[in-house]
Amino acid sequence: MMKPPTDEKAGRLRAAKAVAHRMRRWRVDHSCCAQHAHASIMAAAPKEAQVDCGWGRLLFAQTFDQPARLVTALREEAPEQRDIAIYVGDPHVVIAAAPHELFLDPSHTFRLHLSTYRGSRRQASGFRVRRLSSRADACAVSRIYNTRGMVPVRPDFIWCNRDNRAITYLVAEDQATGEVVGTVTGIDHHKAFNDPEHGSSLWCLAVDPQARHAGIGETLVRRLAECFLGRGAAFMDLSVLHDNEQAVALYEKLQFRRIPAFAVKRKNSFNERLYSAPLAGYAALNPYARLIVDEALRRGVQVEITDAEGGFFRLSHGGRSVHCRESLSELTSGVAVSICDDKAVTRRVVERAGLHVPAQMAATGDEASLSAFLNQHGRVVVKPARGEQGRAVAVGLDELGAVKRSITEAEAVGGRALVESYFEGEDLRLVVIDFKLVAAAVRRPPCIIGDGRTTIRRLIEAQSRRRSAATGGESTIPIDAETERCLRLSHLALDDVLAKGREVLVRKAANLHTGGTIHDVTEIVHPRLVEAAIAAARAINIPVVGIDFMVNSPTEPQYVFIEANERPGLANHEPQPTAERFLDLLFPLSGSRAADCARGRI
């Protein structure tokens, strides 16, 4: 049994306890003061905050003390990059400091207050949104940027920043194919520079123009908003060009509201269309002509649009002038154009050069010959001898009545009709410039996916609107006799409701202008196919041409020649440098090639 402490011992014990208590209080107070001091330091955003996004830097102007410092930072923009100074409080003062170098971005800033955000009950159909998780995802995001004409970003940059707490990459994945079909990037301002407002922003929303599903862009925006809401962000901002009516309509639908915030950018070749008066007639150019004109302007090649609606323009550089219609230039002879213009002549020319061609007959009205040809080959293709953009082309016909009707339609377009044996496989386009392969792509016919609620007619119309928006109006799906024929092959009609998840081809031809999609296969195309395409170009003696084959697979050597296009559309082949190689052909010493020559690299 312990003895009770004496008074002296009790006093010493009480004193020791008091000291210990004061020490504990000191430690707590000291810790609180340190935490308070740390919090005070962290609450103040660092000066001259910026985030490298791969395509350029975001400069947060509110963290710059002086306009001169912001101007200096903008002058440090890297080559081939596009820096953006955002939240510029006095843009007129900043621009006045360097009026020949800077301009006010003609975009509106929209804000979504996350405290009032309400999610959608509608579930994504046919795709899912997730975080970027592989190098393949990074490559897909980079590819989508290229297809949408955005500043390119190296896949390795995206991959290396996947764990950057300030940057969030989301992707939309097609659940049937596993392909990445959309992407969006988010910037967490608090993680980036301890933003006292706890803001965030959305950048680089992009959907693959070949995507088959509706609502991908909206779902990406919603998922990013929910991500930032979960982190405690107060709002999510974005910048959108003032005349992008479709995007503005989407953001307003999602309850974004415009705020008085401004951005300043440097005058460079990528931004030129935002601050300089456009060329006369530029707005009327189609995407195929515009792609070449943009590349010419980037290189400093003079451009004169001679007939915008027809896609005609004149390019001049170094004392040389070349008149073009899209990718058809004065370097292509009239003889070569004549060979490509008549598909029967084209076939004979390339057959003599050793290429594999389908059996073919002219539609002369001899029903017995036509019936015999159909019986011999089982299925046939009917097309006008002269025509383009897939008009009046019917594929996979196996019934004499349908063949005769298609011949009538083809004759109305091209004067004469041709009937060819049908080759089962994929439609491969090879773009050959200066007798070298520049791009190879598989073209696939348009298909729709049912949702269990909507008629086939409405699904086609919706898909057609998306294709038109993605291609500048160049690709739409006609609703005509050929569409109805293809539906009948699946025992369907336009007013039927398609079951949820069911996919149906609505046309057999894979032409882009009738709603087809195009998928790059340049890196995997078989060398024998490349050799055959170049041989065809040499046989026709044409410097720029699109050679069409039917193939089992782009990775296999078997093929059948279909036709040669003397004016191939160079757009939609991203990331391949089709416009760059076209300008190289016309003006070898323009742009970067001139610099390479000066350095002795060429």
Furthest CA-CA distance within the chain: 131
The boundaries of the domain holding residue 501 are 446-507
10 Å Cβ neighbour count for 481? 13
Q: 186: domain CATH number?
A: 3.40.630.30
d(CA 84, CA 563): 46
pLDDT at residue 128 above 90? Answer: yes
- Beta-strand pair 84-86/57-60: parallel
For every residue of 297-356, which 3-state class applies, written as one string? HHHCCEEEEEECCCCEEEEEECCEEEEEECCEECCCCHHHHHHHHCHHHHHHHHHHCCCC
Give the pLDDT score at 36. 37
Give the pLDDT score at 19. 41
Give the pLDDT score at 26. 38
Task: Identify the DSSP state of 577.
Answer: -
What is the distance, to the nearest Å, from the Cα of residue 170 to the centroid of all Cα atoms in its chain?
16
d(CA 222, CA 119): 7
- Per-residue pLDDT reduced to its tens digit, 412-424: 886 789 999 988 8
Strand (E) or helix (H) holding 420: strand 417-421
pLDDT at residue 537 above 90? Answer: yes
Confidence grade of residue 389 (pLDDT, cut at 50, 70, 90):
low
Give the pLDDT score at 47. 86
Residues 524-540, mean pLDDT to the nearest whole number: 98
Give domain status of residue 36, yes or no. Answer: no
d(CA 119, CA 290): 39
Give domain status of residue 346, yes or no. Answer: no
d(CA 209, CA 27): 61
The count of structural domains within the chain is 2
d(CA 96, CA 4): 86
Q: Which of 16-25, 27-36, 165-174, 507-516 has the highest mean pLDDT?
A: 165-174
d(CA 195, CA 204): 21
pLDDT at residue 390 above 80? Answer: no
Q: In the listed set 198, 219, 246, which residue is the last one of a domain according to the structure?
A: 246
What is the distance, to the nearest Å, from the Cα of residue 501 to the centroid of all Cα atoms in its chain?
25
Give domain status of residue 184, yes or no. Answer: yes
Give domain status of residue 286, yes or no. Answer: no
d(CA 100, CA 369): 72
Give domain status of residue 52, yes or no. Answer: no
Task: Identify the DSSP state of 234.
Answer: S
Q: Which two tokens stand for residue 149?
A: 């004409």
Q: Which two tokens stand for residue 600?
A: 């002795």
Asked whether the beta carbons of 578 and 431 are under 8 A apart, the reply is yes
- Per-residue pLDDT reduced to its tens digit, 297-351: 888 899 999 999 999 999 999 899 999 999 999 999 999 999 999 989 999 999 9
Q: In the listed set 507, 531, 551, which residue is the last one of a domain according to the structure?
A: 507
For every residue of 503-533, which 3-state class applies, written as one string? EEECCCCCCHHHCCEEEECCCCCCHHHHHHH
Give domain status of residue 473, yes or no. Answer: yes
Asked whether the beta carbons of 182 and 207 are under 8 A apart, the reply is yes
Among 36-40, 133-137, 176-180, where is mean pLDDT lowest? Answer: 36-40
Residues 409-414, mean pLDDT to the nearest whole number: 82
Among residues 148, 212, 206, 178, the alpha carbon closest in space to that of 515 is found at 212
Give domain status of residue 352, yes or no. Answer: no
Give domain status of residue 453, yes or no. Answer: yes
Q: Which amino acid is at 103?
A: F
Q: Which two tokens stand for residue 557?
A: 């050597």
Among 8-22, 88-102, 450-464, 573-587, where is mean pLDDT lowest? Answer: 8-22
- What is the residue whose two structure tokens read 């609502």? 215
Instruction: Provide the percentage of residues in the chain whose pLDDT is more than 70.
Output: 90
Residue by residue, DSSP assigns 456-471 as HHHHHHHHHHHHHHHT
Residues 217-239, mean pLDDT to the nearest whole number: 97
Residues 460-472, mean pLDDT to the nearest whole number: 84
Residue by residue, DSSP assigns 74-87 as HHTPPTT---EEES
Q: In the listed set 507, 527, 553, which residue is the last one of a domain according to the structure?
A: 507
Q: Which of 307-316, 399-408, 482-491, 592-601 has the highest mean pLDDT?
A: 307-316
- pTM strictly above 0.85: no
Asked whether the beta carbons of 472 and 284 are under 8 A apart, the reply is no
Among residues 40, 51, 47, the alpha carbon closest in space to that of 66 is found at 47
Task: Identify the DSSP state of 166.
Answer: T
Confidence grade of residue 21 (pLDDT, cut at 50, 70, 90):
very low
